Chains A and B, each alone.
Chain A
Amino acid sequence: GQQLNQSPQSMFIQEGEDVSMNCTSSSIFNTWLWYKQDPGEGPVLLIALYKAGELTSNGRLTAQFGITRKDSFLNISASIPSDVGIYFCAGRSNYQLIWGAGTKLIIKP
């Protein structure tokens, strides 16, 4: 079946650093979604991407839909303490949504 490889699994960063994470697959997707999950809450949509090559920003977050349609990237600039949480990618093809395993972001004190 279709699978997404999300990396890294976790990240320890200093406040103020930039963060990059990505999802790759051997399958083609026509939509990429990035969600964030805070402890004790459900995933919340951050950015939705609908076209290959699309680059979309939401504040300090920027996500790109890979040109091959098999990958997507999420960047966070100048991280702040409230960025901690788990970030999930999800790719959609033929109305099926496939989820990555998540990237846990931890800010070093």
Chain B
Amino acid sequence: DAGVIQSPRHEVTEMGQEVTLRCKPISGHDYLFWYRQTMMRGLELLIYFNNNVPIDDSGMPEDRFSAKMPNASFSTLKIQPSEPRDSAVYFCASTLDLNQPQHFGDGTRLSIL
């Protein structure tokens, strides 16, 4: 079975550039989550969707971050303009419902120079 698929696996770009991270959840999962992982703050929930609708975006750090889920099999996390402090590993996860464990992708390692 295909797991959660994220792309790209690595992204290196200069500050000020727009960055788009992509995620394909497990088929049939109604919930999709975006996390950020850093050494300093660990794993932070940024936003999650239910049936393509954003439910809780209180973890999104600022207006430079936006996330969309145009359909059940695709979501994007966009940072515009990017800053060096955005450097982190960004994970996407999905689950069937909130009572079930989340399944994670392998993440996108983002470096902003």
Contacts and interface: CB of A to CB of B under 8 A. Distances in A.
Interface stretch (A38-46, A51-59, A70-78): A38-46
Contact of A97 (B42, B45, B109): B45
A100 B42 CA distance: 8
Given A42-B91, A88-B43, A102-B42, A48 B101 contact: yes
B43 A42 contact: no
Contacts of B109: 40
A44 B104 CA distance: 7
Nearest to A34: B101
- Name the prevailing secondary structure of the A interface residues: strand
A31 B26 CA distance: 22
Contact of A33 (B4, B45, B101, B105): B101
A42 B45 contact: no
Contact of B106 (A35, A41, A95, A101): A41
Interface in B10-39: none
Given A88-B43, A99-B42, A102-B42, A42 B101 contact: no
A31 B98 CA distance: 11
Contacts of A31: 99
Interface residues of B, number: 16
Contact of A101 (B4, B42, B45, B102): B42
A43 B106 contact: no
A100 B41 CA distance: 10
B102 A97 contact: yes
B104 A43 contact: yes
A31 B102 CA distance: 12
Interface in B56-113: 91, 93, 98-99, 101-107, 109
A98 B102 CA distance: 12
Contacts of A41: 106-107
A30 B96 CA distance: 18
13 contacts: A33-B101, A35-B104, A40-B109, A41-B107, A42-B105, A42-B106, A44-B104, A48-B101, A95-B98, A95-B99, A97-B102, A100-B42, A102-B43
B107 A42 contact: yes
